[in-house]
Structure 1
Amino acid sequence: MTMSPSLLRVLLVDDHTLVLDGLQARLELEANIEVIGTASNGLEALEKAKALKPDLVLMDVSMPVLNGLEATKRFKTEQPEIKILMLSMHHDKEYILSLIQSGANGYVLKDVSSEELVQAMNTVSQGGTYFSSGASDALFSQASTPEKCEELTKRELSVLKELAIGLSNKEMAQTLNISVRTVETHRQNIKNKLDIHTSAGLVKYALEHQLIE
């Protein structure tokens, strides 16, 4: 008997009721996504998450009481097992960087299609990172010459770059024309060499060292 995919339990956070209603209606069309609650600010999101135990929080950045940036920092301290995907209209490089450094697992601009939003949610829920194309452009368009990372081989640097833009192991294997097992080996070597053991930490490292051309 084929096992059905596990449900992705999601908490939606936005201070606009119309946005929440629209997101909930769209996500309810996805067989593997269950919206288990909504909140209108970061503080309410933290409180509801303690009770509802979501797998992922899809959260706006600009909100009253407690904004998305500060809420993300608290989530990573108080409830680190929950994945955080930010949804925002802001595409300023420093703004996005500050959110990534706060521990967010992904950043999606509000002009993306609903299909891309679902893809981002699934990617983040599976332990990956995701930046919509507009956010990636903002982050990397002004990148200067990357600093040399002598600890990593050329192939490991390639894997780290692909990881930083949110590709899965399978997608990296296809892009780099290597096996998934080889990608996994490279990822483990990168983690060991840099002493960074989370995907979010590796993305932060790649951004701080401007490894994206």
Structure 2
Amino acid sequence: MTENLTVHAAPQIQLLLIDDHPLVRDGLRARLETIASIIIAGEAGTAEEALAIAASKPVSLILMDINLGTGNGISLTARFKAEYPHIAVIMLSMHDKTEYVNQSMQAGARAYVLKDAPAVEIIEAIDTVIAGGTYFSSGLKKQSANNDASQMLTQREQGILKSIATGKSNKHIARELGLSVRTVETHRLNIKRKLNIEGQADLIRYALNNVIA
């Protein structure tokens, strides 16, 4: 008796393009439609259109411009993080200033790619984010290296990072800040994600080397 075997294909990426310029969206679509693992779930030029698509389609990844017809991509990223935390956001922008990068990452973006970067960087950013990492455009790497990565953290996360640098446990930090242990653990996970750190030992090492108590 022959056994039926089923081959399970890798899940496809349901991508939403958000940019207020149709020509930009057309260019992105043309680049990305050639990749078998990517399905363009929709396009939007405003925050309202983007949220409507996310509510009706199984979007898993967003390419987001900072400048939109109504509102801006940074505040919209924060809203997506709050309402659709399973959707990863890649910021695609013409702005290379550190303040825009930091604000985008604080809002919940997982990558920041410059619009004039080579097309391959968009693919690298998508691959990195889907794998659970963070990505910065090559034009930003030197700049990012010269700035304290902890600027991407919220004030609360910076406070917890300082406590980690002093060797305090989650229980101690929770008691000191009036938080639950679970909340402190969640902050730790967010800190590691933003700083692209995997293990607890690496987090402690980063805190010791980069935080001034």
TM-score (norm 2): 0.69
CA offsets 1:1-57 (integer angstroms, 9 cap, x no match) = 653222111000001111100100110110111111000022321221111121001
The within-5 A match list for 1:134-173 is 134-143=139-148, 149-151=165-167
- Would the aligned equivalents of 1:104 and 1:200 in 2 still touch at CA under 8 Å? no
Pick the structure with greater CA Rg.
2
1:93 touches 1:139 (CA, 8 Å); kept in 2? yes
> Which amino acid in structure 1 is aligned with residue 193 of structure 2?
A
Question: What SS does structure 2 have at the residue aligned with 1:86?
Answer: strand
Is the contact made by 2:12 and 2:37 (CA closer than 8 Å) also made in structure 1?
Answer: yes
Cα deviation for residue 195 of structure 1 reads 5.1
Amino acid at match of 2:85: P
- Give the drift of 1:201: 4.3
Give SS of 1:197's match: helix
In structure 1, what is the equivalent of residue 173 of structure 2? Answer: none
Identity fraction in percent: 38
- Structure 1, unpaired ranges of 5+: 153-191
Read off the aligned partner of 1:138 and give its amino acid letter.
Q
> More relative contact order in 1 or in 2 (CA 8 Å, sep 6+)?
1
Tell me the distance in 2 between the aligned counterparts of 1:104 and 1:130. Answer: 10
Structure 2 unmatched runs, 5+: 1-5, 150-160, 169-183, 198-202
Question: 2:193 — aligned with what?
Answer: 200
**Partner Cα distance (2:46, 2:79) in 1:** 13
- Is residue 133 of structure 1 aligned with residue 138 of structure 2? yes
1:4 matched to 2:9? The reply is yes
Partner of 2:51: 46
SS in 2 for 1:108: strand
Q: For residues 5-44 of structure 1, what are the structure 2 equivalents within 5 Å?
A: 5-44=10-49
Shift of 1:95: 1.4
Asked if structure 1 preserves the Cα contact closer than 8 Å seen for 2:110 and 2:135, the reply is yes
